[in-house]
Structure formats: C-alpha cells, structure tokens
C-alpha cells in the first residue's frame, strides 16, 4: 500500500513558490498604499477653557423645552474636550483628543473620536415629590456658569435648588490619569421640603457608538463592566440583562473595544440592574440602560461622583488602583497572565527597537516557536517514528480484521510498546497550543498599541483586512475576503497534508474519517479569521509557515529514517517494563474483553 509521506521535492518547490508569490503580493500592495499615516504628527492643540456660555440646538428630549432655550458650556485639557448641556445638566459631548475614529466612507481612521455626542448618553437622578410625582433631573433645565476649570449647573424645582458641579484638571503638567477624570459633585438645598425619599434612582441610558472598522468584533466587546466589594471584585455582563441587587457597586461603566465611559459613586450604587440590546446596523452597536440607587442625606441629594473617559491602555488603567485594568478583556487567570506578563512586554520590547507592528508580530512568532521548539521536535520525531512502524500497524489491522476490536487494539498497543513509542507525547504540543491561541485571540483585538497600526494592505492590525471585496454577502463570511486569513488557511492546509500521512484510517464502520475532518478544519478556520483581527491571521500565517519549514528540516536534515528504524528494532529486543499508564490501559482492556466474552457466552446459552 502506498503511504502519504508528506511532500516530495516538487511539492517543496511549490510551497516555496507559493510563499514567494504571497510575499510579493503583500509587498506590491504595501507600495501601492498611500502614506497618510505619516502625515499626521500632532493632533489638535490644547483648547483653553471657554468662559462664554453659547447657544446651541439639541434634540427635543423634553417636549416642554425648546431647542433655543438649551445652552452649553465647555471645558478642555490635553486629553479631553467636554461639553455640558443645560437640559438635564449632563455631559453632552466627550471627545478624546489623542485618538481618531474609523470613517466607513473613506476607509480611514480620520474622524474625531466622540464617546458621547448626539444625545447617545442620557443620565439623571430620579425621585418622587410629596405628591407622588416622579421627578428626574434629566428633564430639568439648568443654568450653566463656567469658572476657571469648573462648570456649575443650577436648576430649581418648587423652591429647591439642585447643583451639578463638574471640575476638570487642565494643568498641562498633571498626571495622565487625572486628565481623563471629571469630578462630579451633586448638591441640593431645600429638597427636603419637596421629597420624603431617602434615596434617589440614578438612571443612565447609553448607546455605544461604532468607532472601529470591525463592527461585529467591536459589538461583541461592548458590555457593562463594574467593581464592588471596595474595588476588590470585578465583573462584566455582555448578556441582555444584568442584576446586582445585593452588591454595592463602586463604579459602573460601559466598555467598548478600546474605550470606556465609567461613573464612580463615592458611596456606591445599590440595587443595580440593567439591560442591553444589540443594534444590527447604523451608527450604534448596542443600547444599554442602567439603574441603581444612591443615598440621600436628610432628604437632600449631596453625593460625590467621578466620571472617567478612558482609553483601555493597561499601564494607564493600573495607575488608578480601582481595578480598572480588569476592564481590558485579556482572559481569565493563566490566559490573562500570559498576555499581561509575556505577550504585551515582549511586544513593547521589540517595538522599542523602532520596528513596525507587523514585523514585531513576525519576531514574536519566531520567539514563541523557539521557546516551544523542544516540544515541537518531540512531536515531529514521534510522527517520523509512527511512519516507520506504519507497515506493522497495517499488518496487525489486517491480521485482526475480523477479530474482536479489543484484540486489534491490544495488538496495536503492543507494537507501540515494543517500539518505544509513547502516543501520549503527541498530545502535549496540542495542549500547549490551546492556551496560546486563546491568549492571542484576546491579545490582538484588545491591545490598544496595535490600534491603527497598518501592515502591508491591512490598515489596522486589530481589525480585518478587506482588500478583496465581494459584490454580495456570504453567510458567516461577510462581504469581503481577508488576504491574511486566506494566506493563513493555505499554509494550514499545506501543514495538514504534511502531517496527515501517518494518521490511521477508521477500521470500523461509522467511525469518522479523521483525515477528512483535518482538511475541513482549515476551511472553517477561514470563516473565523475573515472577520477577526488581521494581526491574529498574520501571526498564524507565520507560525504555520515556520511549522512547515521545521518539518522539512527535521525530515531531510535532522532525522534519518533508517536510524530511527534501527533504534525501534533495538527497542523491541530490550525487555520492556510496563509503565503505570500502560499497565492500567492493558488491565482495562483485558477486563473489558473478559466481560465481553462472558456476555457472548451467556447469549449462546440462551
């Protein structure tokens, strides 16, 4: 019987030509791509605090308030540009000055990045007056006054005064963490004469704006995030509802792929609940609604809050010491540890050499391969040994073709034992690769240092590349083909061809053909990678290309099949002591065979 021994020399040449074509294709589009990213050295300059209060139009949230009656006030520092509306006394606009949003029309990240604008955020404190009427501060009209780096908005209701005082740190020398912070104090006077409530209901409605290229990816990363137990514990919720009736939340935030809007209550939010709804198309990704209680002192609403409008940059998040670093979804436990203490530091170290992001990932792949090389070597050596003893396995299968399957399995295991082949050793590389893959799956779409970093035809390594546009949408694939995902699929198929030659075919009817399943896997992988971060596809393209080179080097340079065959024959002549695992497997098989024989004898008696 002819065996599949991997690739012959002509196939090796084909693989080399394919790699050259792919790399040539990539370099062609690199030169074709414009250099717009090099032009923008500095973004907008710091705007001074505006003391004038100007008129503006707004959506008619309160039908009793005309648009011309709504006023706005502004504050700014090096990182944030903020606008406040007199309707509800709310933050009505938040722009992060050092970042840009993706423009679907121009296919570039060149739009101002607004976390809040066009009334996508709407919040207020709700309570009942003594007549039972529900009052919400978001429906009240406030009068704004700007003093230095603070805006005071004052509203009156039945003789009671409510003030919202917002303060920003606009000192250019202030710490970076303070420049993403907005102090928010709520003060009331005379409210005790209006209400008997001892707590107010904080209600926050927020629609997540589409800021990134990959809509589906960004949508999946948009969710509630919150801390409790004095900032020690953290949780998130990407489902339709969230309920924390028993916990006191220290802060509640709406997380997006790379940014987050967070409000912290100094005395906490109680009886928290919320819901979220996915938006299928348009400017918004999700609608989230939150509700939680804050205490009133002597029926007066005197509480301190802080707003944070944050880029999800890990070093920055850690400086707050409020568990904000958990907002970044790098994976739980060991997976998150790999990203925090291995992949991120390694990326930053290599990037500090002045290398572009794509080549940083290339070098990262090589380093990971070098670390795993002893394990990979054992795997490929095992594969070579399996190929050498394949004729004996086939002979045993033919000999016990019509016999009990258990006997066939015992005979196969005996061949492995005599040859000194440990099948379990082949599982180790696969087990090692699983946490690495999941860690990288979390790393590439969440590492803000990669955001906006282009490589060849991929304009952003945290999103898919869509160089090949389709005239229609394909289910689960979309309206494009990612070249990086396509290239990765091709090398995985080649690797599969090279490694599937030693795979034993099913001997029993109804058993799945593992070779067919192995060929299907790369195709299904294309559907997954096509809408994922192109950085992930590039990493696995390089990784699998290196795997192919390793196999070729091991096969034609390092390992000698004749020597391996001689070693196996020598192993057969040596007395073999059974290991605990082998002994247990043999005893289990013998016991199962005994039970099967007993059952067959009982059937014959009947």
Mind listing the pLDDT tens digit for each residue in 512-567? 455 566 667 777 878 888 888 888 989 989 988 888 887 777 767 766 666 666 66
Q: What's the chain's Rg over C-alpha atoms? A: 32
| pLDDT at 430 (0 to 100) | 66
Tokens 């590439």 — which residue? Answer: 444
| pLDDT at 312 (0 to 100) | 95
Task: Supply the pTM of this predicted model.
Answer: 0.76
| pLDDT at 58 (0 to 100) | 33
In which order are the strands placed within the sheet that holds 71-76?
Answer: 54-55, 71-76, 80-85, 91-103, 108-116
Mind listing the pLDDT tens digit for each residue in 308-337? 999 999 999 999 999 999 998 888 878 888
| pLDDT at 482 (0 to 100) | 84
Task: Tell me which residue of 266, 264, 228 sits closest to 249, measured CA to CA.
Answer: 228
* All residues at 6 or more sequence positions from 418 whose CB lies less than 8 Å from its CB, including other chains: 571, 572, 576
d(CA 269, CA 253): 12
Task: Tell me which residue of 409, 408, 403, 445 sits closest to 532, measured CA to CA.
Answer: 445
Classified by CATH at the fold level, domain 54-328 comes out as: Beta-galactosidase; Chain A, domain 5 (2.70.98)
Reported as half-sphere exposure (CB side, CA atoms, 13 A), residue 567 has a value of 14
Q: How is the chain split into domains, by residue range?
A: 54-328, 340-574, 575-606
| pLDDT at 42 (0 to 100) | 39
3-state secondary structure of 52: coil
| pLDDT at 17 (0 to 100) | 46
388 touches 486 (CB < 8 A): no
| pLDDT at 15 (0 to 100) | 45
Q: Which residues of the chain have pLDDT under 50?
A: 1-15, 17-19, 21-23, 25-63, 504-512
């Amino acid at each position: 019987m002819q065996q599949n021994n991997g690739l012959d020399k002509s196939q090796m040449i084909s693989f080399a030509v394919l790699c050259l074509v792919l790399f040539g294709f990539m370099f062609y589009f690199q030169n074709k791509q414009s250099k717009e990213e090099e032009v923008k050295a500095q973004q907008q300059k710091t705007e001074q605090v505006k003391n004038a209060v100007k008129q503006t139009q707004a959506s008619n949230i309160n039908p009793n308030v005309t648009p011309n009656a709504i006023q706005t006030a502004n504050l700014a520092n090096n990182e944030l540009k903020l606008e406040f509306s007199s309707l509800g006394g709310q933050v009505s606009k938040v722009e992060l000055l050092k970042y840009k949003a993706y423009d679907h029309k121009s296919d570039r990240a060149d739009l101002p990045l607004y976390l809040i604008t066009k009334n996508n955020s709407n919040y207020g404190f709700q309570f009942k007056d003594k007549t039972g009427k529900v009052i919400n501060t978001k429906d009240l009209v406030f009068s704004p006054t700007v003093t230095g780096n603070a805006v005071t908005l004052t509203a009156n209701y039945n003789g009671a005064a409510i003030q919202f005082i917002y303060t920003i740190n606009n000192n250019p020398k202030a710490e970076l963490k303070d420049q993403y912070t907005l102090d928010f104090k709520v003060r009331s006077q005379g409210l005790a004469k209006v209400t008997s409530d001892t707590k107010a209901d904080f209600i926050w409605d927020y629609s997540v704006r589409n800021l990134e290229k990959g809509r589906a990816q960004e949508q999946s990363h948009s969710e509630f995030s919150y801390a409790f137990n004095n900032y020690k514990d953290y949780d998130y919720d990407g489902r339709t509802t969230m309920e924390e009736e028993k916990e006191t939340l220290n802060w509640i935030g709406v997380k997006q792929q790379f940014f987050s809007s967070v409000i912290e209550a100094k005395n906490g939010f109680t009886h928290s609940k919320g819901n979220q709804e996915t938006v299928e198309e348009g400017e918004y990704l999700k609608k989230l609604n939150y509700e939680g209680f804050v205490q009133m002192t002597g029926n007066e609403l005197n509480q301190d809050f802080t707003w944070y409008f944050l880029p999800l940059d890990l070093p920055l998040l850690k400086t707050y010491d409020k568990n904000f670093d958990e907002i970044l979804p790098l994976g739980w436990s060991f997976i998150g540890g790999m990203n925090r203490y291995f992949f991120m530091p390694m990326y930053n170290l290599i990037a500090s050499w002045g290398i572009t992001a794509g080549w940083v990932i290339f070098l990262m792949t090589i380093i990971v391969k070098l670390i795993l090389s002893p394990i990979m070597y054992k795997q490929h050596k095992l594969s070579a040994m399996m190929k050498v003893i394949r004729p004996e396995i086939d002979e045993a299968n033919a000999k016990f073709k019509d016999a009990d399957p258990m006997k066939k399995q015992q005979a196969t295991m005996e061949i492995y034992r005599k040859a000194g082949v440990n099948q379990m050793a082949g599982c180790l590389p696969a087990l090692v690769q699983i946490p690495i893959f999941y860690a990288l799956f979390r790393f590439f779409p969440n590492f803000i240092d990669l955001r906006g970093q282009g490589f060849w035809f991929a304009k952003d390594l945290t999103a898919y590349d869509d160089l090949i546009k389709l005239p229609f949408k394909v289910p689960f694939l979309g309206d494009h083909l990612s070249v990086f995902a396509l290239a990765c699929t091709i090398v995985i198929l080649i690797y599969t061809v090279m490694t599937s030659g030693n795979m034993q075919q099913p001997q029993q009817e109804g058993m799945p053909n593992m070779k067919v399943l192995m060929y299907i896997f790369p195709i299904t992988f294309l559907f997954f990678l096509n809408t994922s971060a192109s950085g992930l596809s590039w990493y696995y393209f390089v990784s699998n290309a290196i795997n192919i080179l390793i196999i070729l080097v091991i096969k034609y340079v390092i390992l000698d099949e004749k020597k391996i065959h001689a070693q196996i024959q020598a192993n057969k002549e040596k007395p073999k002591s059974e290991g605990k695992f082998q002994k247990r497997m043999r005893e289990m098989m013998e016991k199962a065979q005994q039970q099967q024989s007993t059952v067959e004898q009982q059937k014959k008696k009947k």
